[in-house]
Structure 1
Amino acid sequence: MSKRRVTSTDIAKATGVSRSAVSLVLNGRGDGMVDAGKQARIRAVARELGYVPNASAVNLRRQRTATIGLVTDAIASAPFAGPLLSAASDVALEAGYMILTIDTWQHPDYVDGAMATLRARDVDGLIYADAGLRQIEGLEAPLGIPLVLANAYVADDSLPAFIPDDEGGGRAAAELVLRAGHRRIAFITGNPDSPATVQRVRGLTAALNDAGLPVGDSIVPALYSLSSNHAAALELLRRPDRPTAILAANDRGATGVILAAASLGLSVPGDLSVVGYDDEQFLAAEVPPGLTTIALPHREMGRRATADLLARIAGEDRPYGGTQRLHCVPVVRGTVAPPPVA
């Protein structure tokens, strides 16, 4: 048999005071209304009896449900974006909120329905988050509640969004090998329709230009996959003027580059330096000899988006809209070294 919930009536009987006095104390309104000694006694008995406030009643008084809705495209099943959800949950729980998550499994047509479902649950606010950086079209906040984006943005900046500074990340990747002395540098890109690809190429190009190096044919199109990067790396490494450093589209792609080098008898980093992107959990640190990479700020995006949403729910006056780009941090491990001596 389940244990009955302790009520304010039970505490009133145990302390010999009125139920209204107990309610005033437990709701934080006892000062000036109930004797200080009685207040201490009421709180002590409440603890002894295991009293837990009724969340529904508390939220009714606040006119809030203390819940946040989070709609994702595939983060719940993505191999590297889990820290975004984890950080969002940490921030929400610290503020006394719970997160209800719907993963649409990369079905864009499900997004509106997911938003409507969570709105029907009376969530106090919504977060839309993508596993990979994406520009969203036609997304609007449901009437009466705020909406914040993480790893996604709208072209006109009409919604608050927190995304990676991928242009800065592309520059940082290039600078890692430039500082090691490399001059023959190639970049194997990710999916051409990805905003992240465009921005990383822009950052890489700027870094090469600043170093006085031609871009030429150093940018090789590919996809965000191990096999695609592996094939592109084989082609690059068979050139007579093969690169001494390859920047990969992501950590899985970097793994493909390392495998391609090994199949040609080249060592990493002795013959070839490799830089990944993402700092993918359970992969980047495990790839021998430890993959040097650029970490996407998944945790920071989740943290900042949730904190911003909670501030809006609390009524804080903030400008609605604007995209904030968060720093992508280089993580140095064992795949970058000076170029081999000719």
Structure 2
Amino acid sequence: MPDATTKPQLHVLLAGPRGFCAGVDRAIKIVEEAIRQYGAPVYVRHEIVHNRFVVESLERQGAVFVEELDEIPDNGKPVVFSAHGVPKSIPSEAERRKMFYLDATCPLVSKVHREAEHHHARGRHILMIGHDHHPEVIGTMGQLPDGCVTLVEDEAQARLVQPPAGQPLAFITQTTLSVDDTAEMVRILTQRFPDIAAPAKEDICYATTNRQAAVKEIAPRADLMIVVGAPNSSNSLRLVEVAQRAGVARSIMVQRGRDLDLALLEGVRTVGVTAGASAPEVLVEEVLNRLREGYNLRTEEVVVAEEKVIFKLPAALTQPAA
């Protein structure tokens, strides 16, 4: 391994903001606080956020992750619903079984749920822009009866979708989409259906928007963009795509520092580094330490926004029991 005097220089552009958003931070704290107050095990339906490092850390503290409620014994222990949100059938089933549950759904996802209910109450059919099988989409569509929401995944579907005739329309979106892709799909839908009702405030969350904006700022200056995230994380995958479209020669995702092949850095003089909203900063540090094994780093923060959003924990975790 080269020593500090023989290592080549590498300019690192660190995206700001990057990593945890307020919704992810809140969801993790809900699990940790539930374990602290009620003791292990605390059950969590689905990965609390899409990051194995986070999931495994919570497992070591006493969290038990399940996919469905029928995997949980009737032992009075809390069950936490993930940050992505759940269909209405899930809390209904928990109540039927008299389970104590804590809802860690991101408040910005809950906002989209309320929008869907609002449109449905006004007789509108809803077009949801999002990715099929993503838990957030499943949860949002599951707020309403079957058939009330039609999923639109891409521009081709936006051009072809045929909603029920004679019914007023509205659109909502998943919170973790590509800002640019979504804007184009919205343009197509509003051109086809001029009276379609739009969200009062954009559904794509501030954290997704800010992280993509930082990547757009960095990409034209970088030879390689490294996104720290998980392959099942929508917002992380979008960062890889946004970087490619914004002009970087190569954009890759790694989950941990050890996953980074330094051979990919051959010929690279400037590298961008960011992290999806469910990736903790410790994993960014792992990637930087991995880079230091082969290079002398000169780091530069590229900050496009300051984030000061904080979401409160559920009252069940902050108020004394009656």
Tell whether the structures are fold-level matches, with TM greater than 0.5.
no
Between Structure 1 and Structure 2, whose CA radius of gyration is higher? 1
Alignment TM-score, normalising by the size of structure 1: 0.29
Greater relative contact order (Cα 8 A, min sep 6): structure 1 or 2? 2
